[in-house]
Structure 1
Amino acid sequence: MSSTSPGPVLDRTDPIPDIDLADPDPARTPDLERILATLRPVHPVFWHGPKSRPGFWAVIRYAETMRVYRDPTTFSATNGMTLDSLRPGPDPASGMMVEVTDPPEHRRLRRSIGALFADGVVTDLEPEIDRYVRRLLVAVRDRGGTVDVVEAVASRVPTHAAGLLLGLPPADLDWITSRTSRVFLSRAAADDGGDLRQEAEQANGELLGYFSRLLRTSRHRSDADGLVQRLAAGTADRDALTTGEVVLNALNLAIGGTTTTRAALTNLLDALSRMPDVFASLRANPSAVPTAVEEAVRWGNPVRHLARVATCDVELAGQAIKEGDPVVVWPRSANRDEAVFAQPDTFDAGRHPNPHIGFAAGPHSCPGTALGRAQLRAVLRHTVDLFTACEPAEGARLMQSNFLHGYERLPMRFTAAGDHLFT
């Protein structure tokens, strides 16, 4: 008898036919994480039939998610990075925007962008980010009562950091915040009858025009030294980018850096408000803030999915994926994989090791990881310094997005501290 194991199986049976993973309304599937936890051991990769979006392969286990992330030759990003932007052919920005470009061209773009983050830029920005965060949280303390932390903190910190990085005029930051907050909205009809996807497209177009104008203006200024200008200039160590490449990648950094960090901050603050023991432990041991930040990214992973397309026939977890099939990873599920994380549904501020993939992995890992971590650390550090507790208030509202998990509105009440740990 042959001992050869069976080959891959093409199984397009949808194990969750009544659930639409592309639905942007989290209220319609409030127990989604429990459902995915049940599926992970038996259906780590499964066909998700056509519903509000065409069918795709859903990848929900850590090992297979890492394989997709690390193999851009087989799993291409050039057709779009989200379910809403995925298309049959290459994205118009492919070859120019790093997120939708594969190696080898991806390496040139990534080298030009990544070098700017590696040149001590984030280290230089941290003191200013820290001061800004403290001012915001002191204002929350002095105001008292119920505060919407999205409006007061989470939407402001990432835009301020992006403004410092990109060399944006401070007077423009509120306008940029209002536009970036709309880009990943994906519900077809808003409560007032409006179309959120149309709003998202309009906001994206307005931001694209803004960065085009910013680049044109900066070329006539001798004192312009933000990231937009440096991308266009290049150095002896990295290529200058074309006008189109600068605009698209500046747009990508502004949107990605602000929206994902905003969502991560809301998830972090929500966790603190619902877990008073975690808050108390961090106040008693503030040196645990860095590890708590890593756990916050794992536990409250803001990115719900990322899309790829198979470039050839391939086997993944026993499934026969065909060339051209969409393959969509769900990192929030991968970061709760019991085979990798002990007690994955527990927020463990001291978790170590913590090999989470909240910032993705492989060639398309987030270039702004260090900047995102700096903002999360600053908010958590000053929150446990200025307050002894926080609690949720009524009126919280999750984002209407199938791409990001975070809060559009998050009212909270804080208890001010009589003493401070750091100052």
Structure 2
Amino acid sequence: MNVDDQLNDPAFFATDRYYALFDRLRAEDPVHWTTSPDGRGYWSVFKHADFKHILNEPELYSSEREGVMPAVDAEMSAVAKQAMGVGENVLTIDPPRHGEMRKVVSEPFLPRALAAAEARTRTLIGGIFDGLPADGEIDLVTDLAVRIPMAVICDILDLPEGDWDKLLGWGKMAIGGSDPEYRQGTAAETVSQGYQLLYDYSLRTASARRGCPFADPLTALANATVGGRPMTPSEIAHNGTQLMLAGFETTRNAFSGGVLALLENPDQMALLREDPKRLRLGVEEFVRWSDPVISLMRTATRDTELRGRRIRAGDRVMLWFPSANRDEEVFDQPYRFDITRHPNLHVGFGGGPHFCLGGPLAKLEIRLAMEELLERYDGLEITGPVERVQSSFVGGLKHLPVRLRQRTARASAG
């Protein structure tokens, strides 16, 4: 399999072989023309500095022209643009409209709101831990990591608990449609169906809240005015869908990937147990290390040049996040997992105007979840194969079987 075939293959990213490939391309061909199944090709970008440039130049590198999902075969490309609502949600629109629409839903994700809600968030996370065995085996991904962000974002959106599991299932289809475990039909059909189910749910829920006083982001969307007009039903539904998907995925992937890294680096786990306050820095390393996002796409709006490569208007540009987050020009010993790393200039939450709205929430969730884990358990042990999602879009673990060992003090108290 040649380089381009590897970059176009979602299954390749369920392995750890892509790190060596990215290292080589960063050194030898950091702006690499990549052929693709749809015949159009795209530019692959691997350097941290180029990420910062592209993410901070939305008028030159557009999220709106063709969206952000790495859809590089003809069927998936058509489906992704329609399913994601390109041009109708905060992820896939450009400034200045982007800022106005983002403001509609931003309130619960601002630092002051997160600080006020920390006790509530801690209670939700504690309740999920209460459902785990004191000692015994669990799948840390399916039994814990996916349930934490699901509970928190659904609570923020005021969605009934009876709906949470089906929303999570639809999210797996929308984001992980390339993975055989989530697939229903072709990958494109799975993505389309997942997005459609979330779209219909978001629209139905938000429509029922029209005219209600503000209480949550879905209510805000239902009653918002953007550009001097009410938001359209499609804009409301696509933004509601995006809030759910973003809420489900990033925390799950960074938390589970960070826990795996701690289990593989016991010296770092010992540092956390010695002083849990190190978590505030450690969470940043969780995000850098765990690759919660594999790639995002932009489209050039005019002819330009990057590292001597001529990029023409309409060319697609793919940003490979694991590569930027291991760029040796930015990170000392990039393949060392170091919870004390400072500064930690990772791009795990993107950058520029599209910096992840839920990034501060994700960091809060990871910190609180790790505090619970350290408080409740003396140790964890991997008991079976670790499986990664087959996706070139959103990365992360699919299964992480572990054995829990309750802390002695808790066992005695019980």
TM-score (norm 2): 0.89
Contact 1:310/1:324 (<8 A) preserved:
yes
Alpha-carbon distance, 1:199 to partner: 2.2
Q: Does 1:139 align with 2:131?
A: yes
Q: Does 1:206 align with 2:204?
A: no
Q: Does 1:417 align with 2:404?
A: no
Alpha-carbon distance, 1:323 to partner: 1.2
Deviations 1:366-394 (A, max 9, x none): 11111111111111111122222212221
Greater mean deviation of Cα atoms: 274-283 or 19-28: 19-28
- Rounded to whole Å, the distance in 2 between the matches of 1:150 and 1:331 is 22
Alpha-carbon distance, 1:119 to partner: 7.5
Deviations 1:188-228 (A, max 9, x none): 866999434322221211111111110122237x5772211
Q: Which amino acid aligns with 2:62?
A: S
Q: Which one of 78, 99, 103 corresponds to residue 91 of structure 2? A: 99
Q: Which amino acid aligns with 1:368?
A: G
Alpha-carbon distance, 1:266 to partner: 1.8
Q: Does 1:74 align with 2:98?
A: no
Contact 1:167/1:224 (<8 A) preserved:
no
Partner of 1:122: 114
Q: Which one of 350, 359, 365 corresponds to residue 340 of structure 2? A: 350
Greater mean deviation of Cα atoms: 381-390 or 66-75: 381-390
Q: Does 1:112 align with 2:98?
A: no
Post-superposition, which runs of at least 4 consecutive aligned residues in structure 1 deviate over 4 A? 51-54, 85-92, 188-194
Q: Which one of 16, 31, 47 corresponds to residue 30 of structure 1? A: 16
Q: What percentage of residue pairs aligned between the two structures are identical? A: 29
Deviations 1:86-133 (A, max 9, x none): 569976834421111111211211222334433833223321221222
Question: Aligned residue pairs: how many?
Answer: 405
Contact 2:104/2:217 (<8 A) preserved:
no
Contact 1:310/1:321 (<8 A) preserved:
yes
Contact 1:22/1:52 (<8 A) preserved:
no
- Rounded to whole Å, the distance in 2 between the matches of 1:80 and 1:284 is 45
Partner of 2:140: 149
Deviations 1:160-203 (A, max 9, x none): 11112112122211211121122112438669994343222212
Partner of 2:30: 44
For the residue of structure 1 that corresponds to 2:408, the secondary structure is: coil
Partner of 1:332: 322
Task: Check 1:105–1:148 CA distance in 2 against 1; reply closer, same or farther (3 A cut).
Answer: same
TM-score (norm 1): 0.88
List aligned pairs for 1:18-417, cutoff 5 A.
Answer: 19-26=5-12, 30-51=16-37, 54-78=40-64, 79-84=66-71, 86=77, 93-118=85-110, 120-142=112-134, 144-187=135-178, 194-219=185-210, 225-234=215-224, 241-417=231-407
Greater mean deviation of Cα atoms: 128-137 or 187-196: 187-196
Task: Check 1:155–1:271 CA distance in 2 against 1; reply closer, same or farther (3 A cut).
Answer: same
- Rounded to whole Å, the distance in 2 between the matches of 1:89 and 1:136 is 33
Unaligned runs of 5+ in 2: none
Contact 1:125/1:164 (<8 A) preserved:
no
- Rounded to whole Å, the distance in 2 between the matches of 1:288 and 1:53 is 48
Contact 1:138/1:386 (<8 A) preserved:
no
Alpha-carbon distance, 1:281 to partner: 1.2
Q: Which amino acid aligns with 1:276?
A: P
Contact 1:112/1:239 (<8 A) preserved:
no
- Rounded to whole Å, the distance in 1 between the matches of 2:92 and 2:105 is 14
Deviations 1:52-81 (A, max 9, x none): 774210001100011111111111111111
Task: Check 1:322–1:347 CA distance in 2 against 1; reply closer, same or farther (3 A cut).
Answer: same
Deviations 1:232-263 (A, max 9, x none): 33499x98644332221111111122122222
Task: Check 1:386–1:375 CA distance in 2 against 1; reply closer, same or farther (3 A cut).
Answer: same
Q: Which amino acid aligns with 1:325?
A: D
Bigger helix share: 2
For the residue of structure 1 that corresponds to 2:7, the secondary structure is: coil
- Rounded to whole Å, the distance in 1 between the matches of 2:24 and 2:16 is 15
Contact 2:172/2:182 (<8 A) preserved:
no
- Rounded to whole Å, the distance in 1 between the matches of 2:229 and 2:360 is 23
For the residue of structure 1 that corresponds to 2:170, the secondary structure is: helix
Contact 2:300/2:315 (<8 A) preserved:
yes
- Rounded to whole Å, the distance in 2 between the matches of 1:178 and 1:88 is 19
Contact 2:294/2:320 (<8 A) preserved:
yes
Q: Which amino acid aligns with 1:316?
A: L
- Rounded to whole Å, the distance in 2 between the matches of 1:172 and 1:297 is 28
Task: Check 1:116–1:287 CA distance in 2 against 1; reply closer, same or farther (3 A cut).
Answer: closer
- Rounded to whole Å, the distance in 2 between the matches of 1:403 and 1:27 is 9
Unaligned runs of 5+ in 1: 1-14
- Rounded to whole Å, the distance in 2 between the matches of 1:90 and 1:290 is 37
Contact 2:209/2:222 (<8 A) preserved:
no
Deviations 1:354-413 (A, max 9, x none): 111110000111111111111111111111222222122213221121211112221111
